[in-house]
Amino acid sequence: MDNQIIFYIMGGAAGAFVIIILLYYILSKKMQTSEYKRIQKLQQGTKEKKFSAEVLFQKLYLTYMKIPFIKRYALKIRRRLEIINIDDEYNTRKGTAKILTKSLAIIVPIMLITIIFTSGNYLLMFILLIFELFMIDTFIDGSVDKIDNKILTEQIDFFSEIRHAYHEYNMVEEAIYQVSQDDEKDVSRQGEKIYEILISDDPEMELEKYYDIAPNSFLKEFAGISYLTKEFGDRKVDGASLYLKNVNNITQEMQLEILKRDKLNYVFQSLSIISIAPVLLLEPLKNWAISNFTFTSSWYLGKPGMIVQIIILILTFLSYILVRKLKDNGSTAANTKNTENPWQEKLYRKKPIKKIVDLFIPKEGTKEHRKIKQLLKDSASSQKIQWLYINRIALAIVTFFASIIIFTQLHNVAINYVYTEPTTDYNIIGGLSEKDERKAMELTEQDNIILDQFRGKINTTQEQIRMAVERLDYYEEAEDEEIDTAVERIYNKLQIINSEYMQWFELLLACVFAVIGYMAPIWILYFQVKMRQLEMEDEVMQYQTIIMMLMRIERVNVEIILEWLERYSNIFKPQITRCVNNYEAGAWEALEAMKEEVSYMPLVRIIESLQAAVEKIPIKDAFDELDSERDYYQEKRKESNERLIKRKGMIGKFIGFAPMVCMFVGYLIVPLVFIGLTSMSSSFSSMTSTST
């Protein structure tokens, strides 16, 4: 087999070489034409002589956009890079092509290795290839996150240079303009955009547009503070510029976020690989166990081994998704999924499908409808309720039919093993010699002749099998005892084969799995809600930083503070949005209503301080403790981040190691111990019966 593969590779290489020679000959002929020479002469002096990676990535981008499947990933990367590379089409295309090329360079060899190693197990190959498609998302998200983190790191130096420039020019917009002239840094494009906003005719409207596309919340805060300072002027607080103090506060927040991301990346960098590893180790582990402990082949090559394989694959898939969601939950990256016209929306527009989906969606105004809508908000999901139910129905249908296919495949595996198993007794010491194996397979082939005659005939008796056995040439000179043994063995095999068909409880199980598939999207939303709750303390501390920056700026009132909190909120966004909408009807009442909705005490205290600022005291007095205890809050924020990372790490390790533990325990240790003990017990029983 190996020699054949080598011959195929050599033949393919020789064929490719011949094709290259022919193409070179055709091109050289074409280049001799006068028209080509004229064009070549015109291009002299204007064309880059060396190889250009820049041009290569631009061409690759155009190629990727023409390939239907790859185009989906190219657009996904592009949507995220468009935010980072504001109005820079060249760099957006270059970055998209570069990330996609790297991802394909990693995933394509993995897919080829998977096909080679699982060529004998098509079900496992199919599942692995589907699973590896999800891995592309991980590579892509990781590559874009690196760019996002790079911008965040560059912002530290950017804001430091802003401080020096502001001292020199004493004008916000001029300082930003001067620092943004460094074209080598990605953050400079953001600085140029903020400068254009500040000098525009309607900076407030342009600023609102920028809030929707800013790469992270810190640039939003910087843009907002710069605008307020330009509009209302700067002032001295404790002998220092309020604007520079606010920039310093944002810088400290960024430093904490960078440390948090670095620690999360360190904790989770290996968990994704660990959660995937069992899938890649299943086939090698099975081959090792069978080659060293032959008595386990009936388990690994039969139905039990296939069932455990499927369980491990499903567990690995779930662990991989949950680990990704657990890690990505703390990211401040903007949600750039296609939320306008995804496949769910296209499907929902078709009238027959719309009617079916509407039957499952709870009626508006009902308790169930409000519960689902609230769940989508609490989990920060961008999908509509219609899309959620399309996902649920599609997953239920796919799960049902996948279950039926798997059950059918399990029956085929069991039947196939009966037909291919060497017919002899296995022992715990080792396998058969080559001579014994040939004899065992010859016996199996004779059994298969009888099995083919009676397969599907449920009421077959041992007498009928005996008559068929006696007619075989193989048993022409056999003694009665040998024939009796063969009849009993074939009868037992026939019972197994005739019992391997789709049964009613398997259809029931398929329905149960379909219900689980139907509920899975809801359970994932609940998981996201739980993970978001871990971020509550971090978000409220960010509110405190925002309030501390705004409270000393003149003409800033409670309504402006609430608008800022809404802009940067994530977990408590629905409550703050309702408060902002109801503010005009009554400030104190709107805040009181929000306080009743919120149960998290640190946020309740902020709301009470805002109520005091509405009716009784100035804002700076209501939040005076934030400024006086700044160091305490900074230390508390660090400690909060440490606890958050520790809790996420514990949950992530539990989820990430679950498939690995299941593989070693359920796929290696249990079969070896259980089948080994069973083999020993049967061996002792046969020895005892022989001695008596």
pLDDT tens, position by position, 458-509: 788 878 888 887 777 777 777 778 778 888 888 888 888 888 778 888 899 9
Average pLDDT of the residues in 362-382 = 82
Same domain, yes or no, for 223 and 358? no
What pLDDT was estimated at residue 329?
Answer: 47
Q: Residue 498 half-sphere exposure, CB side, CA atoms within 13 Å?
A: 17
Same domain, yes or no, for 228 and 376? no
Mean per-residue pLDDT over the chain, rounded: 78
Residue 234 DSSP code: -
Judged on CB neighbours under 10 Å (0-12, 13-18, 19+), 575 is buried
What pLDDT was estimated at residue 331?
Answer: 41
Same domain, yes or no, for 379 and 234? no
Average pLDDT of the residues in 218-231 = 87
Q: Is 610 among the domain residues?
A: no
Cα separation, 250 vs 217, whole angstroms: 10
Q: Is 298 among the domain residues?
A: no
Single-letter code of the amino acid located at 451: L
What pLDDT was estimated at residue 333?
Answer: 42
Q: Is 3 among the domain residues?
A: no
Domain edge (last residue) among 534, 550, 582? 534
What pLDDT was estimated at residue 367?
Answer: 86
Q: Is 523 among the domain residues?
A: yes
Same domain, yes or no, for 249 and 388? no
Same domain, yes or no, for 264 and 352? no
pLDDT at 689 over 60: no
Judged on CB neighbours under 10 Å (0-12, 13-18, 19+), 204 is exposed
Alpha-carbon dihedral 124, 125, 126, 127, rounded to 10 degrees: 50
Same domain, yes or no, for 116 and 220? yes
Q: Is 99 among the domain residues?
A: yes
What pLDDT was estimated at residue 243?
Answer: 87
pLDDT at 117 over 70: yes
33-47, 155-169, 657-671: which range is least confident on average? 33-47
Alpha-carbon dihedral 362, 363, 369, 370, rounded to 10 degrees: -170
134-143, 156-165, 461-470: which range is least confident on average? 134-143
Cα separation, 406 vs 398, whole angstroms: 12
90-94, 137-141, 304-308, 685-689: which range is least confident on average? 685-689
Q: How far, rounded to the nearest angstrom, does the alpha carbon of residue 74 sit from its chain's CA centroid?
A: 17
What pLDDT was estimated at residue 208?
Answer: 85
Q: Which residues pair with 237 in a beta bridge?
A: 240
Number of domains in the chain: 2
Q: 């620690």: which residue's tokens?
A: 263
pLDDT at 627 over 70: no
Instruction: Give yes or no for a contact between 668 and 289, defined as CB atoms under 8 angstroms apart.
Output: yes
Instruction: Give yes or no for a contact between 534 and 572, defined as CB atoms under 8 angstroms apart.
Output: no
**Between these two residues, 535 and 163, which has the higher pLDDT value?**
163
pLDDT at 332 over 70: no
What pLDDT was estimated at residue 428?
Answer: 45
What pLDDT was estimated at residue 5?
Answer: 55
Band (614; pLDDT cuts 50, 70, 90): confident
**Between these two residues, 295 and 346, which has the higher pLDDT value?**
346
In SS3 terms, 632-654 reads as: HHHHHHHHHHHHHHHHHHHHHHH
**Between these two residues, 664 and 630, which has the higher pLDDT value?**
664
What pLDDT was estimated at residue 319?
Answer: 86
Instruction: Give yes or no for a contact between 214 and 513, defined as CB atoms under 8 angstroms apart.
Output: no
Take residue 457 and report the two structure tokens written for it. Answer: 């005939």
Same domain, yes or no, for 359 and 251? no
Domain edge (last residue) among 269, 287, 316? 269
What pLDDT was estimated at residue 11?
Answer: 58
Cα separation, 486 vs 447, whole angstroms: 8
Same domain, yes or no, for 83 and 174? yes
Same domain, yes or no, for 135 and 258? yes
Of 92-96, 323-327, 687-691, which one has max mean pLDDT? 92-96
What pLDDT was estimated at residue 12?
Answer: 59
pLDDT in tens, 338-366: 455 677 888 888 888 888 888 888 888 88
Q: Is 572 among the domain residues?
A: no
Alpha-carbon dihedral 591, 333, 219, 262, rounded to 10 degrees: 110
What pLDDT was estimated at residue 71?
Answer: 82
Q: Residue 25 half-sphere exposure, CB side, CA atoms within 13 Å?
A: 6
Instruction: Give yes or no for a contact between 271 and 650, defined as CB atoms under 8 angstroms apart.
Output: no
Residue 361 sits in which domain range?
A: 344-534
Q: Is 655 among the domain residues?
A: no
What pLDDT was estimated at residue 36?
Answer: 47
Q: In a 3-state reduction of DSSP, which class is residue 241?
A: strand
For a pLDDT cut of 70, what percent of the chain falls above it?
84
Domain edge (last residue) among 492, 512, 534? 534
Same domain, yes or no, for 257 and 351? no
pLDDT at 692 over 60: no
**Between these two residues, 154 and 621, which has the higher pLDDT value?**
154
The DSSP line for 298-336 is HHHSSHHHHHHHHHHHHHHHHHHHHHHHHHHTT------
Instruction: Give yes or no for a contact between 257 and 152, defined as CB atoms under 8 angstroms apart.
Output: yes
Take residue 488 and report the two structure tokens written for it. Answer: 């009993």
Take residue 53 and report the two structure tokens written for it. Answer: 């990676």
Same domain, yes or no, for 363 and 483? yes
What pLDDT was estimated at residue 685?
Answer: 62
Q: Is 659 among the domain residues?
A: no
Band (297; pLDDT cuts 50, 70, 90): confident
What pLDDT was estimated at residue 516?
Answer: 92
Average pLDDT of the residues in 142-156 = 82
> How does strand 240-241 pair with strand 236-237?
antiparallel
Rg over CA atoms, the chain: 34
Q: In a 3-state reduction of DSSP, which class is residue 345?
A: helix
Cα separation, 253 vs 638, whole angstroms: 10
pLDDT in tens, 564-587: 888 888 788 888 888 888 888 888
**Between these two residues, 75 and 32, which has the higher pLDDT value?**
75
Q: In a 3-state reduction of DSSP, which class is residue 429?
A: coil
Number of helices (H), then strands (E), belonging to the chain: the values are: 31, 2
Same domain, yes or no, for 265 and 359? no
